[in-house]
Amino acid sequence: MEANLKNNIESNPSKSEEKTLQIDVETLERAAFILKTVAHPVRLGILKLLEKEERLSVNQICEGLEVEQSLTSHHLSNMKLKGILFSKREGKNVYYSLRERNILNLFKCLEGCDCIMF
Convert the pLDDT of each residue in 68-117 to its tens digit.
Answer: 999 999 999 999 999 999 999 999 999 999 999 999 999 988 888 888 76
Q: How far apart are CA 45 and CA 51, in angstroms?
A: 10
CATH number of 68's domain: 1.10.10.10
Is residue 83 assigned to a domain? yes
State the Cα–Cα distance between residues 86 and 117, nearest whole angstrom.
Answer: 32
Q: Is residue 8 one of the residues assigned to a domain? A: no
Rounded CA separation 3/114 (Å): 32
Residue 49's pLDDT band (boundaries 50, 70, 90)?
very high
Question: How many domains does the chain contain in total?
Answer: 1
- Are 95 and 87 spatial neighbours (Cβ–Cβ below 8 Å)? yes
**Is residue 115 a part of any domain in this protein?**
no
Q: Which domain holds residue 77?
A: 24-106
Kindly report the pTM of this predicted structure.
Answer: 0.77
Please report whether residue 111 resides in a domain: no
